[in-house]
Amino acid sequence: MADRLVCRECHRVLEAADGEQCPNCGSTSLTEDWAGYVIIAHPETSDIAEEMEVDEPGKYALKVR
């Protein structure tokens, strides 16, 4: 998973096919420097999603540099 990119704005873990722009928030600020991730399936009922301010299901990095 180390070769995947993460959006610095919304922390979404991106697949290689996503290109150079985050499909979640539209940011082009992507990085390979991140650690840990969480999969959020139901953001509307998740305390973690609320804390991370996530409103879309998906994979999110816990720490982004």
Please tell me the predicted confidence (pLDDT) of residue 1. Answer: 52
* Domains and their CATH numbers in the chain: 5-64 (2.20.28.90)
Residue 19 has pLDDT above 90, yes or no: no
Residue 22, annotated as binding a ligand: yes
Residue 20 has pLDDT above 70, yes or no: yes
Residue 53, annotated as binding a ligand: no
Residue 7, annotated as binding a ligand: yes
- What's this model's pTM, rounded to 2 decimal places? 0.86
Residue 63, annotated as binding a ligand: no
Percent of the chain surpassing pLDDT 90: 85
CA separation (Å) from 64 to 3, 16, 25, 44?
A: 14, 18, 16, 23
